[in-house]
A and B are shown apart, each in its own frame.
Chain A
Amino acid sequence: MAPEIRITAEPIDNQRCKFVVSVPVLAGGVRRFASADDAAGSPLAEAIFAIPGLAVREVIISGNIVTVSKESPAPWQAVGKSVGMAIRGALASAVPPVAAAPRPPGAVTDDALYEQVARVFDEQVNPMVARHGGHVELIDVQDAVVMLRMGGGCQGCGMADVTLRQGIEGMLAQLVPAVRGIVDITDHTSGSNPYFQASKK
Chain B
Amino acid sequence: MPRLLLLLPTSTYRATAFVEAARQLGVELTVASEQPSTLEAANPAGLLTIDFEQPERAAEAVRIFARQYPIDGVAGVDDKTALIAAAIATKLGLKGNPVHAAMAASDKYLQREQLALARVPIPRFLLRSLEDDPAEIAKSIVYPCVVKPVRLSASRGVIRADNPTGFVAAHARLRAILQDPETAAACGDRARHYLIEEFISGYEVALEGLVINRRLHVLTLFDKPDPLDGPFFEETIYVTPSSVPTALQKAITDCAERAVRAIGIVEGPIHAELRYNERGPWLIELAARPIGGRCSAVLRFGDHGVSLEELILRHAIGMPIPSLQRERLAAGVMMIPIPGAGTLKEVRGVAEARRVPLVEDVQITAHPGERLVPFPEGSRYPGFIFARGETPAVVETALRDAHRRLTFVVE
A residues whose Cβ falls under 8 Å from a Cβ of B: 8-11, 13-14, 73, 75-77, 124-125, 128-132, 134, 156, 158-163, 165-168, 170-171, 189-194, 196-201
Contacts and interface: CB of A to CB of B under 8 A. Distances in A.
A75 B360 contact: yes
Contacts of B381: 201
B335 to A, nearest CB: 8
A134 B37 CA distance: 12
Q: Per DSSP, are chain B's interface residues mostly helix, strand or loop, or mixed? A: loop
B341 interface: no
B153 interface: yes
Nearest to B78: A200
B160 to A, nearest CB: 19
B365 A198 contact: yes
A192 B369 contact: yes
Given A159-B10, A190-B368, 9 more contacts: A128-B38, A160-B16, A161-B16, A163-B38, A167-B43, A170-B46, A171-B42, A171-B43, A197-B367
B388 interface: yes
19 contacts: A8-B354, A10-B354, A13-B20, A14-B300, A76-B360, A77-B357, A129-B39, A159-B33, A163-B38, A163-B39, A166-B19, A166-B37, A167-B42, A171-B42, A171-B43, A198-B11, A200-B13, A200-B293, A201-B153
Contacts of A9: 354
Nearest to B14: A198
A194 B380 CA distance: 15
Interface size on B, as a range, is 35 or more
B63 to A, nearest CB: 21
A190 B370 CA distance: 12
A122 B158 CA distance: 48
B363 A189 contact: yes
A166 B31 contact: yes
Contact of B11 (A77, A165, A200): A200
B380 A199 contact: yes
A131 B38 contact: yes
CB-based closest 7 A-B pairs = A167-B39, A201-B154, A73-B305, A201-B292, A198-B13, A196-B10, A161-B16
A10 B361 CA distance: 8
Give the residue among A14, A124, A134, A193 with the most B Cβ atoms within 10 A: A14
A129 B305 CA distance: 35
A201 B15 CA distance: 13
Nearest to B356: A77
Given A167-B37, A192-B367, A162 B360 contact: no
Contacts of A200: 9, 11-13, 78, 153-154, 292-293, 379-380
Given A9-B354, A77-B358, A201 B379 contact: yes
B295 to A, nearest CB: 9
B360 A77 contact: yes
Contacts of B292: 200-201
B345 to A, nearest CB: 11
A158 B15 contact: yes
B207 to A, nearest CB: 16
Contact of B47 (A75, A129, A131, A167): A167
A193 B84 CA distance: 29
Given A73-B300, A200-B9, A200-B11, A166 B357 contact: no
